[in-house]
């Protein structure tokens, strides 16, 4: 829910697909502290206005946003926040699929 609400700060997101899988996370871009196989949620979305999808804005908007933890994640988070900038504990990653 926090993901959708934070996306909605800039524009109306259109969620097209959600997936949760346990997988090796080495190539996802998560922080270097996280190793091995973990539960990863992948959410495909777009915005009504394509100008709002800039990755720089998403990384700025999400960094240090409070989240609920100890739900279904398989990593131990140092802080209950999304982290996009810290290369050791980055726990949310955005990429474009064009």
Q: What pLDDT is recorded for position 77?
A: 92
**DSSP element (H, E) containing 7:** helix 2-7
Question: pTM of whole model > 0.85?
Answer: yes
72-94 residue pLDDT tens: 999 999 899 999 999 999 999 99
Write down the pLDDT at residue 8. Answer: 92
The pLDDT of residue 26: 93
Q: In whole angstroms, give the CA distance from residue 91 to residue 82.
A: 6
Q: What is the pLDDT of residue 45?
A: 92
Which stretches of the chain score pLDDT less than 70? 50-53, 98
């Amino acid at each position: 829910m926090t993901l959708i609400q934070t996306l909605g700060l800039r524009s109306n997101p259109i969620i097209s697909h959600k997936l949760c899988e346990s997988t090796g996370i080495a190539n996802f871009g998560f922080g270097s502290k996280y190793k091995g196989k973990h539960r990863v949620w992948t959410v495909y979305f777009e915005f009504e206005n394509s100008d709002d999808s800039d990755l720089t804005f998403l990384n700025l908007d999400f960094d240090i946003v409070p989240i609920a933890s100890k739900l279904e994640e398989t990593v131990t988070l140092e802080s209950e926040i999304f982290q996009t900038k810290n290369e050791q504990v980055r726990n949310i990653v955005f990429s474009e699929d064009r």
